[in-house]
Structure 1
Amino acid sequence: MDKSATFHDLKGASVYVTGGGSGIGAAITEGFLAQGAKVAFIGRSDASKFVAEMEMKHGHAPLFLQGDITDTAHLKKTMQQAEKAHGPITVQVNNAANDDRHALDKVTEDYWDWMQAINLKSYFFACQEAARQMQKAGHGSIINFSSISYIMGGAGYTAYTTANAGITGMSRSLARELGPDKIRVNALAPGWVLTQKQLDKWADPDALAAHLDRQCLKDHLAPQDIVDAVLFLASNTSRMMTGQCMVVDGGVVVTG
Protein backbone atom coordinates (compact mmCIF):
# COMPACT_ATOMS: atom_id res chain seq x y z
CA MET A 1 0.00 0.00 0.00
CA ASP A 2 1.25 3.48 -0.89
CA LYS A 3 1.02 6.24 1.71
CA SER A 4 -0.17 9.26 -0.24
CA ALA A 5 0.00 11.64 2.72
CA THR A 6 1.01 11.63 6.38
CA PHE A 7 -1.58 12.80 8.89
CA HIS A 8 0.52 13.41 11.97
CA ASP A 9 -2.43 13.70 14.36
CA LEU A 10 -3.50 10.11 13.59
CA LYS A 11 -0.36 8.67 15.21
CA GLY A 12 -1.50 6.89 18.35
CA ALA A 13 -5.18 7.50 17.65
CA SER A 14 -7.64 4.83 18.82
CA VAL A 15 -9.42 3.64 15.66
CA TYR A 16 -12.24 1.10 15.25
CA VAL A 17 -13.25 -0.29 11.84
CA THR A 18 -16.23 -2.51 11.10
CA GLY A 19 -15.45 -5.13 8.47
CA GLY A 20 -11.78 -4.22 8.77
CA GLY A 21 -10.29 -7.56 7.78
CA SER A 22 -11.24 -7.86 4.12
CA GLY A 23 -11.87 -5.80 0.99
CA ILE A 24 -11.92 -2.03 1.40
CA GLY A 25 -12.05 -2.51 5.18
CA ALA A 26 -8.69 -4.28 5.21
CA ALA A 27 -7.18 -1.47 3.14
CA ILE A 28 -8.58 1.03 5.67
CA THR A 29 -7.10 -0.92 8.59
CA GLU A 30 -3.72 -0.93 6.90
CA GLY A 31 -3.99 2.74 6.01
CA PHE A 32 -4.41 3.68 9.67
CA LEU A 33 -1.63 1.32 10.77
CA ALA A 34 0.68 3.04 8.29
CA GLN A 35 -0.15 6.33 10.01
CA GLY A 36 0.84 4.88 13.38
CA ALA A 37 -2.70 4.54 14.71
CA LYS A 38 -3.90 1.85 17.13
CA VAL A 39 -6.53 -0.08 15.18
CA ALA A 40 -9.21 -2.52 16.29
CA PHE A 41 -11.65 -4.11 13.88
CA ILE A 42 -14.57 -6.51 13.84
CA GLY A 43 -15.23 -9.15 11.19
CA ARG A 44 -17.19 -12.38 10.87
CA SER A 45 -14.41 -14.47 9.31
CA ASP A 46 -11.11 -15.37 10.92
CA ALA A 47 -8.56 -12.66 10.13
CA SER A 48 -5.53 -14.12 11.92
CA LYS A 49 -3.49 -14.34 8.73
CA PHE A 50 -4.22 -10.69 7.88
CA VAL A 51 -3.29 -9.60 11.41
CA ALA A 52 0.03 -11.44 11.18
CA GLU A 53 0.77 -9.85 7.80
CA MET A 54 0.05 -6.38 9.17
CA GLU A 55 2.29 -6.92 12.19
CA MET A 56 5.14 -8.08 9.98
CA LYS A 57 4.72 -5.16 7.61
CA HIS A 58 4.06 -2.31 10.05
CA GLY A 59 5.66 -3.52 13.27
CA HIS A 60 2.40 -3.51 15.22
CA ALA A 61 -0.73 -5.60 14.84
CA PRO A 62 -4.35 -4.52 14.70
CA LEU A 63 -6.68 -5.93 17.34
CA PHE A 64 -9.05 -8.41 15.68
CA LEU A 65 -12.38 -8.92 17.46
CA GLN A 66 -14.43 -11.57 15.71
CA GLY A 67 -18.19 -11.18 15.52
CA ASP A 68 -21.34 -10.24 13.65
CA ILE A 69 -22.21 -6.54 13.51
CA THR A 70 -25.94 -7.37 13.56
CA ASP A 71 -25.50 -8.64 17.14
CA THR A 72 -25.73 -5.22 18.76
CA ALA A 73 -24.69 -6.32 22.26
CA HIS A 74 -21.61 -8.10 20.90
CA LEU A 75 -20.73 -5.19 18.60
CA LYS A 76 -20.74 -2.80 21.54
CA LYS A 77 -18.77 -5.28 23.64
CA THR A 78 -15.99 -5.40 21.04
CA MET A 79 -15.90 -1.60 20.92
CA GLN A 80 -15.51 -1.57 24.69
CA GLN A 81 -12.71 -4.13 24.38
CA ALA A 82 -11.02 -1.77 21.93
CA GLU A 83 -11.40 1.04 24.47
CA LYS A 84 -9.68 -1.05 27.14
CA ALA A 85 -6.83 -1.94 24.78
CA HIS A 86 -6.26 1.39 23.06
CA GLY A 87 -8.13 4.05 25.04
CA PRO A 88 -11.46 5.65 24.08
CA ILE A 89 -12.20 5.33 20.38
CA THR A 90 -11.64 8.68 18.64
CA VAL A 91 -12.05 7.47 15.04
CA GLN A 92 -14.96 5.19 14.13
CA VAL A 93 -15.22 3.85 10.57
CA ASN A 94 -18.49 2.07 9.83
CA ASN A 95 -17.53 0.24 6.66
CA ALA A 96 -19.10 -3.24 6.85
CA ALA A 97 -22.00 -3.70 4.44
CA ASN A 98 -23.72 -6.20 2.17
CA ASP A 99 -24.73 -5.08 -1.33
CA ASP A 100 -26.53 -8.32 -2.18
CA ARG A 101 -28.60 -8.06 -5.37
CA HIS A 102 -32.34 -8.77 -5.24
CA ALA A 103 -35.49 -8.37 -7.31
CA LEU A 104 -38.49 -6.54 -5.85
CA ASP A 105 -40.81 -9.55 -6.01
CA LYS A 106 -38.31 -11.84 -4.28
CA VAL A 107 -37.84 -9.74 -1.12
CA THR A 108 -39.36 -11.21 2.02
CA GLU A 109 -39.88 -9.42 5.32
CA ASP A 110 -37.07 -11.43 6.92
CA TYR A 111 -34.67 -10.60 4.08
CA TRP A 112 -35.54 -6.90 4.32
CA ASP A 113 -34.94 -6.86 8.07
CA TRP A 114 -31.63 -8.70 7.63
CA MET A 115 -30.42 -6.20 5.04
CA GLN A 116 -31.35 -3.23 7.23
CA ALA A 117 -29.72 -4.86 10.26
CA ILE A 118 -26.42 -5.10 8.40
CA ASN A 119 -26.52 -1.90 6.39
CA LEU A 120 -28.24 0.60 8.69
CA LYS A 121 -29.13 -0.63 12.20
CA SER A 122 -25.55 -1.68 12.98
CA TYR A 123 -24.31 1.74 11.89
CA PHE A 124 -26.63 3.54 14.31
CA PHE A 125 -25.67 1.47 17.33
CA ALA A 126 -21.97 1.64 16.48
CA CYS A 127 -22.34 5.42 16.39
CA GLN A 128 -24.12 5.31 19.74
CA GLU A 129 -21.24 3.50 21.44
CA ALA A 130 -18.58 5.53 19.59
CA ALA A 131 -20.24 8.75 20.72
CA ARG A 132 -20.11 7.63 24.36
CA GLN A 133 -16.38 6.97 24.12
CA MET A 134 -15.67 10.13 22.12
CA GLN A 135 -17.52 12.25 24.67
CA LYS A 136 -15.15 10.80 27.26
CA ALA A 137 -12.15 11.65 25.05
CA GLY A 138 -13.47 15.15 24.30
CA HIS A 139 -13.44 14.79 20.51
CA GLY A 140 -13.87 12.32 17.67
CA SER A 141 -14.62 11.61 14.03
CA ILE A 142 -17.24 9.13 12.81
CA ILE A 143 -17.12 8.08 9.16
CA ASN A 144 -20.17 6.20 7.88
CA PHE A 145 -19.87 4.45 4.54
CA SER A 146 -22.74 5.19 2.20
CA SER A 147 -22.69 4.67 -1.59
CA ILE A 148 -23.42 6.53 -4.80
CA SER A 149 -25.86 3.71 -5.64
CA TYR A 150 -28.78 5.51 -3.98
CA ILE A 151 -27.85 8.87 -5.54
CA MET A 152 -27.85 7.20 -8.97
CA GLY A 153 -31.11 5.43 -8.23
CA GLY A 154 -29.52 2.05 -8.85
CA ALA A 155 -31.93 -0.80 -9.56
CA GLY A 156 -31.70 -4.41 -8.42
CA TYR A 157 -30.76 -3.81 -4.76
CA THR A 158 -33.40 -1.52 -3.28
CA ALA A 159 -32.90 -2.72 0.32
CA TYR A 160 -29.25 -1.69 0.05
CA THR A 161 -29.86 1.70 -1.58
CA THR A 162 -32.56 2.47 1.00
CA ALA A 163 -30.11 1.80 3.81
CA ASN A 164 -27.47 4.00 2.19
CA ALA A 165 -29.88 6.90 1.87
CA GLY A 166 -30.66 6.38 5.55
CA ILE A 167 -26.97 6.44 6.46
CA THR A 168 -26.57 9.87 4.90
CA GLY A 169 -29.62 11.22 6.74
CA MET A 170 -28.47 9.67 10.01
CA SER A 171 -24.99 11.15 9.62
CA ARG A 172 -26.40 14.64 9.13
CA SER A 173 -28.63 14.39 12.19
CA LEU A 174 -25.87 12.98 14.38
CA ALA A 175 -23.48 15.70 13.21
CA ARG A 176 -25.94 18.27 14.55
CA GLU A 177 -26.50 16.37 17.80
CA LEU A 178 -22.85 15.59 18.53
CA GLY A 179 -21.21 18.78 17.27
CA PRO A 180 -21.26 20.47 20.72
CA ASP A 181 -19.14 17.56 21.96
CA LYS A 182 -16.53 18.19 19.23
CA ILE A 183 -17.55 14.99 17.47
CA ARG A 184 -17.71 15.15 13.69
CA VAL A 185 -19.94 12.81 11.67
CA ASN A 186 -19.61 12.46 7.92
CA ALA A 187 -20.76 9.99 5.29
CA LEU A 188 -18.45 8.73 2.55
CA ALA A 189 -20.02 7.58 -0.70
CA PRO A 190 -17.65 5.58 -2.90
CA GLY A 191 -18.26 4.77 -6.52
CA TRP A 192 -17.48 1.35 -7.99
CA VAL A 193 -14.28 0.23 -6.27
CA LEU A 194 -12.72 -2.81 -7.88
CA THR A 195 -12.21 -5.11 -4.92
CA GLN A 196 -11.80 -8.85 -5.47
CA LYS A 197 -15.47 -9.38 -4.58
CA GLN A 198 -16.59 -6.95 -7.27
CA LEU A 199 -14.28 -8.53 -9.82
CA ASP A 200 -15.57 -12.01 -8.98
CA LYS A 201 -19.29 -11.18 -8.98
CA TRP A 202 -20.23 -8.27 -11.20
CA ALA A 203 -17.27 -6.62 -12.95
CA ASP A 204 -17.59 -8.12 -16.42
CA PRO A 205 -15.98 -6.18 -19.32
CA ASP A 206 -19.26 -4.68 -20.57
CA ALA A 207 -20.31 -3.47 -17.12
CA LEU A 208 -16.87 -1.99 -16.44
CA ALA A 209 -16.83 -0.16 -19.77
CA ALA A 210 -20.31 1.24 -19.25
CA HIS A 211 -19.50 2.51 -15.78
CA LEU A 212 -16.20 4.03 -16.86
CA ASP A 213 -18.08 5.88 -19.57
CA ARG A 214 -20.16 7.57 -16.82
CA GLN A 215 -17.06 8.76 -14.97
CA CYS A 216 -15.39 12.10 -15.68
CA LEU A 217 -12.03 10.54 -14.78
CA LYS A 218 -11.31 7.51 -16.93
CA ASP A 219 -9.56 5.38 -14.31
CA HIS A 220 -11.21 2.66 -12.24
CA LEU A 221 -11.36 3.27 -8.51
CA ALA A 222 -8.97 1.31 -6.30
CA PRO A 223 -9.21 0.78 -2.52
CA GLN A 224 -6.39 3.31 -1.98
CA ASP A 225 -8.63 6.07 -3.36
CA ILE A 226 -11.09 5.39 -0.56
CA VAL A 227 -8.44 4.96 2.13
CA ASP A 228 -7.05 8.43 1.41
CA ALA A 229 -10.52 9.97 1.78
CA VAL A 230 -11.11 8.13 5.07
CA LEU A 231 -7.78 9.32 6.50
CA PHE A 232 -8.64 12.90 5.53
CA LEU A 233 -12.03 12.72 7.26
CA ALA A 234 -10.47 11.11 10.34
CA SER A 235 -7.73 13.71 10.64
CA ASN A 236 -7.92 17.22 12.06
CA THR A 237 -7.10 18.29 8.50
CA SER A 238 -10.90 18.22 8.05
CA ARG A 239 -11.65 19.57 11.53
CA MET A 240 -14.45 21.92 10.40
CA MET A 241 -16.09 19.40 8.08
CA THR A 242 -19.14 17.61 9.47
CA GLY A 243 -22.63 16.59 8.35
CA GLN A 244 -21.41 16.06 4.80
CA CYS A 245 -21.65 13.25 2.28
CA MET A 246 -18.27 13.10 0.56
CA VAL A 247 -18.37 11.39 -2.84
CA VAL A 248 -15.33 9.59 -4.26
CA ASP A 249 -16.44 8.11 -7.57
CA GLY A 250 -14.37 9.53 -10.41
CA GLY A 251 -17.12 12.01 -11.24
CA VAL A 252 -20.26 9.91 -11.80
CA VAL A 253 -22.61 11.91 -9.58
CA VAL A 254 -22.51 15.53 -8.48
CA THR A 255 -23.38 17.04 -5.10
CA GLY A 256 -24.18 20.54 -3.89
Structure 2
Amino acid sequence: MAFASYPSLRDKVVFVTGGASGIGATFVSEFHAQGSKVAFVDLSEDEGRALSGKLAGSWFRRCDVTDAFALQSAIRDAAEALGPITVLINNVANDTRHDAASVTPEQWRKALAVNLDPAMVASVAVYPMMKQAGGGSIVNVSSINAIWGPGHMPAYVAAKGAINSLSKGLGREWGPDRIRVNALSPGWVITPRQLELWLTPEAEAEWSKLVALKDRLMPEDIARMAMFLAADDSRMITGQNFIVDAGRL
Protein backbone atom coordinates (compact mmCIF):
# COMPACT_ATOMS: atom_id res chain seq x y z
CA MET A 1 0.00 0.00 0.00
CA ALA A 2 1.04 3.61 -0.56
CA PHE A 3 0.24 6.12 2.15
CA ALA A 4 -0.09 9.90 2.18
CA SER A 5 2.72 12.38 2.49
CA TYR A 6 1.84 15.79 3.97
CA PRO A 7 4.00 18.70 2.76
CA SER A 8 2.46 20.95 5.42
CA LEU A 9 3.94 18.78 8.18
CA ARG A 10 7.50 19.38 7.02
CA ASP A 11 9.41 21.44 9.59
CA LYS A 12 6.39 21.73 11.89
CA VAL A 13 7.29 21.26 15.54
CA VAL A 14 5.34 18.36 17.02
CA PHE A 15 5.19 17.51 20.74
CA VAL A 16 4.08 14.02 21.83
CA THR A 17 3.39 12.86 25.39
CA GLY A 18 4.09 9.22 26.19
CA GLY A 19 6.15 8.92 23.04
CA ALA A 20 8.75 6.29 23.93
CA SER A 21 6.74 3.13 23.31
CA GLY A 22 3.54 1.72 21.86
CA ILE A 23 1.32 4.00 19.81
CA GLY A 24 3.25 7.02 21.08
CA ALA A 25 6.52 5.78 19.60
CA THR A 26 4.76 5.30 16.28
CA PHE A 27 3.47 8.88 16.42
CA VAL A 28 7.03 10.07 16.97
CA SER A 29 8.49 7.96 14.16
CA GLU A 30 5.76 8.72 11.62
CA PHE A 31 5.83 12.49 12.16
CA HIS A 32 9.63 12.39 11.95
CA ALA A 33 9.34 10.54 8.63
CA GLN A 34 7.13 13.38 7.37
CA GLY A 35 9.94 15.84 8.03
CA SER A 36 8.48 17.27 11.24
CA LYS A 37 10.66 18.39 14.13
CA VAL A 38 9.55 16.02 16.87
CA ALA A 39 9.85 16.42 20.63
CA PHE A 40 8.50 13.84 23.05
CA VAL A 41 8.42 12.96 26.72
CA ASP A 42 8.02 9.69 28.55
CA LEU A 43 8.65 8.19 31.97
CA SER A 44 10.87 5.50 30.44
CA GLU A 45 14.28 7.08 29.88
CA ASP A 46 15.92 4.02 28.31
CA GLU A 47 13.23 3.56 25.66
CA GLY A 48 13.04 7.29 25.03
CA ARG A 49 16.77 7.69 24.57
CA ALA A 50 16.89 4.65 22.30
CA LEU A 51 14.14 5.99 20.05
CA SER A 52 15.52 9.51 19.97
CA GLY A 53 18.93 8.12 19.04
CA LYS A 54 17.42 6.60 15.91
CA LEU A 55 15.68 9.80 14.81
CA ALA A 56 18.11 12.55 13.90
CA GLY A 57 17.14 15.95 15.25
CA SER A 58 14.44 14.68 17.62
CA TRP A 59 14.20 15.96 21.20
CA PHE A 60 13.48 13.78 24.23
CA ARG A 61 13.20 14.29 27.95
CA ARG A 62 12.24 11.91 30.72
CA CYS A 63 9.17 13.44 32.33
CA ASP A 64 6.52 12.40 34.81
CA VAL A 65 3.50 13.99 33.15
CA THR A 66 1.55 13.92 36.40
CA ASP A 67 3.92 16.69 37.52
CA ALA A 68 2.36 19.71 35.83
CA PHE A 69 5.41 21.91 36.37
CA ALA A 70 7.73 19.30 34.84
CA LEU A 71 5.47 18.89 31.80
CA GLN A 72 5.19 22.65 31.30
CA SER A 73 8.97 22.99 31.60
CA ALA A 74 9.53 20.24 29.05
CA ILE A 75 7.19 21.92 26.57
CA ARG A 76 8.90 25.27 27.08
CA ASP A 77 12.39 23.78 26.66
CA ALA A 78 11.40 21.78 23.59
CA ALA A 79 10.07 24.95 21.99
CA GLU A 80 13.31 26.75 22.76
CA ALA A 81 15.26 23.91 21.14
CA LEU A 82 13.12 23.28 18.05
CA GLY A 83 10.83 26.28 17.65
CA PRO A 84 7.21 27.08 18.54
CA ILE A 85 5.08 23.97 18.92
CA THR A 86 2.16 24.00 16.50
CA VAL A 87 1.15 20.32 16.77
CA LEU A 88 0.44 18.66 20.12
CA ILE A 89 -0.36 14.96 20.44
CA ASN A 90 -1.76 14.27 23.91
CA ASN A 91 -1.14 10.55 23.88
CA VAL A 92 0.01 9.50 27.35
CA ALA A 93 -2.28 7.06 29.19
CA ASN A 94 -2.36 4.05 31.49
CA ASP A 95 -5.13 1.49 31.05
CA THR A 96 -4.25 -0.79 33.97
CA ARG A 97 -7.30 -2.86 34.91
CA HIS A 98 -8.97 -2.48 38.29
CA ASP A 99 -12.30 -3.32 39.93
CA ALA A 100 -14.54 -0.34 40.52
CA ALA A 101 -15.60 -1.44 44.01
CA SER A 102 -12.03 -1.61 45.25
CA VAL A 103 -10.77 1.74 43.92
CA THR A 104 -9.54 4.06 46.67
CA PRO A 105 -9.70 7.85 46.37
CA GLU A 106 -5.92 7.89 45.99
CA GLN A 107 -6.01 5.36 43.14
CA TRP A 108 -8.78 7.30 41.42
CA ARG A 109 -6.88 10.57 41.62
CA LYS A 110 -3.67 8.90 40.42
CA ALA A 111 -5.46 7.40 37.40
CA LEU A 112 -6.98 10.72 36.36
CA ALA A 113 -3.64 12.44 36.93
CA VAL A 114 -2.12 10.44 34.09
CA ASN A 115 -5.13 9.81 31.83
CA LEU A 116 -6.77 13.24 31.86
CA ASP A 117 -4.83 16.06 33.52
CA PRO A 118 -1.78 16.11 31.17
CA ALA A 119 -4.00 16.79 28.16
CA MET A 120 -5.22 20.04 29.69
CA VAL A 121 -1.85 21.02 31.15
CA ALA A 122 -0.07 20.51 27.82
CA SER A 123 -2.80 22.21 25.82
CA VAL A 124 -2.67 25.32 27.99
CA ALA A 125 1.14 25.33 27.75
CA VAL A 126 1.16 25.32 23.93
CA TYR A 127 -1.77 27.70 23.50
CA PRO A 128 0.24 30.97 23.54
CA MET A 129 2.76 29.78 20.96
CA MET A 130 0.06 28.36 18.70
CA LYS A 131 -1.90 31.59 18.92
CA GLN A 132 1.18 33.64 18.09
CA ALA A 133 2.00 31.33 15.17
CA GLY A 134 -1.46 31.90 13.71
CA GLY A 135 -2.88 28.50 14.57
CA GLY A 136 -2.12 24.89 15.37
CA SER A 137 -3.55 21.45 15.89
CA ILE A 138 -4.10 19.50 19.11
CA VAL A 139 -4.94 15.81 18.88
CA ASN A 140 -6.17 14.23 22.11
CA VAL A 141 -5.93 10.45 22.07
CA SER A 142 -9.12 9.01 23.49
CA SER A 143 -10.49 5.46 23.18
CA ILE A 144 -13.58 3.64 21.97
CA ASN A 145 -13.83 2.46 25.57
CA ALA A 146 -15.23 5.92 26.35
CA ILE A 147 -18.16 4.95 24.13
CA TRP A 148 -18.54 1.25 24.95
CA GLY A 149 -17.77 1.55 28.67
CA PRO A 150 -16.23 -1.84 29.49
CA GLY A 151 -15.87 -2.92 33.09
CA HIS A 152 -12.73 -3.13 35.20
CA MET A 153 -11.33 0.21 34.07
CA PRO A 154 -13.68 2.91 35.42
CA ALA A 155 -11.06 5.64 35.83
CA TYR A 156 -9.67 5.11 32.33
CA VAL A 157 -13.16 5.10 30.80
CA ALA A 158 -14.14 8.24 32.71
CA ALA A 159 -10.94 10.02 31.72
CA LYS A 160 -11.37 9.19 28.04
CA GLY A 161 -14.96 10.39 28.10
CA ALA A 162 -13.70 13.65 29.57
CA ILE A 163 -11.04 13.84 26.84
CA ASN A 164 -13.81 13.78 24.22
CA SER A 165 -15.69 16.60 25.92
CA LEU A 166 -12.51 18.59 26.52
CA SER A 167 -11.66 18.38 22.82
CA LYS A 168 -15.04 19.77 21.85
CA GLY A 169 -14.89 22.55 24.45
CA LEU A 170 -11.37 23.68 23.58
CA GLY A 171 -12.11 23.40 19.88
CA ARG A 172 -15.00 25.81 20.30
CA GLU A 173 -13.11 28.25 22.55
CA TRP A 174 -9.87 28.34 20.60
CA GLY A 175 -11.35 28.23 17.11
CA PRO A 176 -11.07 32.03 16.67
CA ASP A 177 -7.31 31.61 17.17
CA ARG A 178 -7.24 28.98 14.39
CA ILE A 179 -6.28 26.30 16.90
CA ARG A 180 -8.01 23.05 16.06
CA VAL A 181 -8.67 20.46 18.78
CA ASN A 182 -9.87 16.96 17.98
CA ALA A 183 -10.10 13.61 19.72
CA LEU A 184 -8.83 10.38 18.18
CA SER A 185 -10.38 7.16 19.49
CA PRO A 186 -8.54 3.94 18.65
CA GLY A 187 -10.02 0.49 18.93
CA TRP A 188 -7.96 -2.50 20.00
CA VAL A 189 -4.51 -1.58 18.70
CA ILE A 190 -1.93 -4.35 18.72
CA THR A 191 1.03 -2.97 20.66
CA PRO A 192 3.74 -4.86 22.57
CA ARG A 193 1.81 -4.17 25.80
CA GLN A 194 -1.32 -5.77 24.37
CA LEU A 195 0.68 -8.75 23.14
CA GLU A 196 2.24 -9.21 26.55
CA LEU A 197 -0.82 -8.77 28.75
CA TRP A 198 -4.09 -9.41 26.95
CA LEU A 199 -3.88 -10.65 23.38
CA THR A 200 -4.64 -14.36 23.27
CA PRO A 201 -5.92 -16.36 20.28
CA GLU A 202 -9.28 -16.60 22.03
CA ALA A 203 -9.51 -12.87 22.73
CA GLU A 204 -8.50 -11.99 19.19
CA ALA A 205 -11.09 -14.39 17.78
CA GLU A 206 -13.80 -12.73 19.87
CA TRP A 207 -12.66 -9.26 18.78
CA SER A 208 -12.74 -10.34 15.14
CA LYS A 209 -16.45 -11.10 15.53
CA LEU A 210 -17.07 -7.51 16.62
CA VAL A 211 -15.40 -5.62 13.76
CA ALA A 212 -16.11 -5.22 10.07
CA LEU A 213 -12.44 -5.22 9.01
CA LYS A 214 -10.70 -8.39 10.11
CA ASP A 215 -7.06 -7.26 9.81
CA ARG A 216 -5.21 -6.33 12.98
CA LEU A 217 -5.43 -2.66 13.93
CA MET A 218 -1.85 -1.40 14.17
CA PRO A 219 -0.26 1.73 15.68
CA GLU A 220 0.51 3.02 12.19
CA ASP A 221 -3.22 3.12 11.43
CA ILE A 222 -3.75 5.47 14.36
CA ALA A 223 -0.74 7.61 13.47
CA ARG A 224 -2.04 8.14 9.94
CA MET A 225 -5.23 9.67 11.26
CA ALA A 226 -3.24 11.83 13.69
CA MET A 227 -1.07 13.12 10.85
CA PHE A 228 -4.13 14.02 8.79
CA LEU A 229 -5.57 15.95 11.75
CA ALA A 230 -2.25 17.73 12.25
CA ALA A 231 -1.79 18.64 8.59
CA ASP A 232 -3.32 21.59 6.78
CA ASP A 233 -5.54 19.12 4.89
CA SER A 234 -7.86 19.10 7.91
CA ARG A 235 -7.85 22.87 8.37
CA MET A 236 -11.64 23.11 8.77
CA ILE A 237 -12.06 20.22 11.21
CA THR A 238 -12.24 20.82 14.95
CA GLY A 239 -14.13 19.65 18.01
CA GLN A 240 -14.66 16.17 16.56
CA ASN A 241 -13.97 12.61 17.70
CA PHE A 242 -12.46 10.37 15.03
CA ILE A 243 -12.90 6.65 15.63
CA VAL A 244 -10.36 4.26 14.13
CA ASP A 245 -11.45 0.82 15.29
CA ALA A 246 -11.79 -1.42 12.19
CA GLY A 247 -15.54 -0.85 12.22
CA ARG A 248 -16.73 -2.01 15.65
CA LEU A 249 -20.24 -3.34 15.12
Matched, 1:219 2:220: no
Equivalent runs, 1:115-194 vs 2, <5 Å: 115-194=111-190
Measured in 2, the distance between the counterparts of 1:132 and 1:192 equals 35
Q: Is the partner of 1:185 in helix, strand or coil?
A: strand
Partner of 2:84: 88
Contact 1:20 1:29 in 2 (8 A): yes
Contact 1:3 1:31 in 2 (8 A): no
TM-score, structure 2 as length reference: 0.97
Report the alpha carbon displacement of residue 13 of structure 1 after superposing the two structures with TM: 0.2
Partner of 2:205: 209
Matched, 1:64 2:63: no
Give CA-to-partner distance per residue, 1:157-188, whole Å, 9 cap, x none. Answer: 01100000000000000000000000000000
Q: Is the partner of 1:122 in helix, strand or coil?
A: helix
**Would you identify which runs of 4 or more consecutive aligned residues in structure 1 move more than 6 Å?**
none
Contact 1:216 1:250 in 2 (8 A): yes
Partner of 2:28: 29
Measured in 2, the distance between the counterparts of 1:14 and 1:72 equals 21
> Taking every aligned residue pair, what percent have the same amino acid on both sides?
43
Gap regions ≥5 residues in structure 1: 55-59
TM-score, structure 1 as length reference: 0.94
Partner of 1:57: none
Q: Is the partner of 1:144 in helix, strand or coil?
A: strand
Q: What amino acid is aligned across from residue 50 of structure 2 in structure 1?
A: K
Report the alpha carbon displacement of residue 61 of structure 1 after superposing the two structures with TM: 3.1
Measured in 2, the distance between the counterparts of 1:239 and 1:212 equals 34
Quote the RMSD (CA, aligned, Å). Answer: 1.1
Measured in 2, the distance between the counterparts of 1:3 and 1:22 equals 25
Measured in 2, the distance between the counterparts of 1:68 and 1:147 equals 22
Aligned residues: 247
Give CA-to-partner distance per residue, 1:14-65, whole Å, 9 cap, x none. Answer: 10000111111011000011000000000111121211122xxxxx231001
Partner of 1:17: 16
Q: What amino acid is aligned across from residue 40 of structure 1 in structure 2?
A: A
Q: Is the partner of 1:98 in helix, strand or coil?
A: coil
Q: Is the partner of 2:181 in helix, strand or coil?
A: strand
Partner of 1:5: 4
Partner of 1:249: 245
Measured in 2, the distance between the counterparts of 1:196 and 1:209 equals 18
Partner of 1:52: 53
Q: Is the partner of 2:116 in helix, strand or coil?
A: helix
Q: Tell me whether 224-233 or 44-53 shows the greater mean CA deviation.
A: 44-53
Matched, 1:97 2:93: yes
Contact 1:3 1:34 in 2 (8 A): no
Measured in 2, the distance between the counterparts of 1:34 and 1:238 equals 19
